[in-house]
Structure 1
Amino acid sequence: MNLLKKYWLVLLFAIAIGSVIVINYVSGSQTEENAGAPRIPEEISSSQFVSPDSHETDKDKTKIYVDVKGNVKQPGVYQIDSGKRVSDVIELSGGFLDTAEKNAVNLAQKVHDEMVIIVPEKGEETSQKIPLDPTEEKLRLNGAAEEELTTLTGIGPSKAAAIVQYREENGDFQQMEELLNVSGIGATTLEKIESEILIP
């Protein structure tokens, strides 16, 4: 009888040990599976989200005034963000009239403060030079198209294209000396045209 009792005690003890081993094995397997599973990122809060617009500089947000004249539906002075294009201002003015010579307007050109955009009538020639006083006219370098730049002394089509390219890649000119960084323009050329242009 005692032998049978001892047998049952040993058997129960073995079952208990086996149960502990099985439980530890299962728990360890689940831990490894969880460790290998990809971690699901927490939802990004609104305070962590960075909008592309947040990278705008103060310069981009500066308000400027542009005067639109000629063959547009609503000519007038418009307030617009710095860095916008002529196409944006034309859109604000209601768009071109049917009589407008659209090819005479550089829609890709960046606008600047106090800029005057003249939309000519079909067949009409115009120059976007801005008069500074009754006896003299100067060309705004930052607002001039290639065709207008060729009216400057010593500036042909290739140099005009180089000026526009430099302006598009580096932004508006801030001082006369920056023209020396343009391919094909040296001190002699700068001396010839500095009395004919206006910066900024």
Structure 2
Amino acid sequence: METKERIEPIDVEQPDPARAPGSVLQLVRARIAQHVRFHPREAFALAVLGLLLLTGAGLAYARARPAAGVSPPAVAVSSSASPAASGAANTIVVDVVGAVRKPGVYDFAQGARVIDAVRAAGGFLRDAGPQAINLARPLVDGEQIVVPKKGQAPAAAAPGGASAQQPGGKVNINSATESDFENLPGIGPVLAQKIVDYRDQHGPFRSIQDLMKVSGIGQKKFDSLQAYVTV
């Protein structure tokens, strides 16, 4: 009699549903969600922080941009003259002649006086007549200061601050005043007034000989004046 071999059943391990590929992904997601889950207070704090950061960035951007319609400040351009030009404008050039020790052309600053010009020229000579000129008068650029000797006709100021006295101590009859004419030999107040009136009516003298057209000045009077006058 044959004996049949008994076959024992083999237990086969069934796959765990939780370990299925789909289940593994779900498990991973669940655990990630547990780690990144925020408490409501933490979420609110993060939201506020983000809002503050955005607001700060917006303000910084707005400040960096120029306002609409507002041009950037213009750079001021200096229009002042150069130091050399400024220095030249403040310099007075005067010619000092006559009874001084060192006649010549001298430079002075604005506000200088006649006495400053005389000092620059070395001072008066012994035979100078300083009382004949106004030492306190301000200097005028380009003028000539004539220091007369004793007994010579004094220098006088003409209209505009220029000197009526010309080189050699002569008086310009077209710019002289009544006082200037009175300082000339043989000219008194009445005749000085006549000379000025004639000049006002007929215009500047063309030559010194025109003085003889003035009533009261004849050939003899003119001969005594011509060494002291010029045009």
In which range does the TM-score fall when normalised by the shorter chain? Answer: 0.3 to 0.5
TM-score, scaled to structure 2: 0.38
Larger Rg: 2
Q: Which has the higher strand share?
A: 1
TM-score, scaled to structure 1: 0.42
Indicate the structure whose relative CO is greater, using CA pairs within 8 Å and at least 6 residues apart: 1
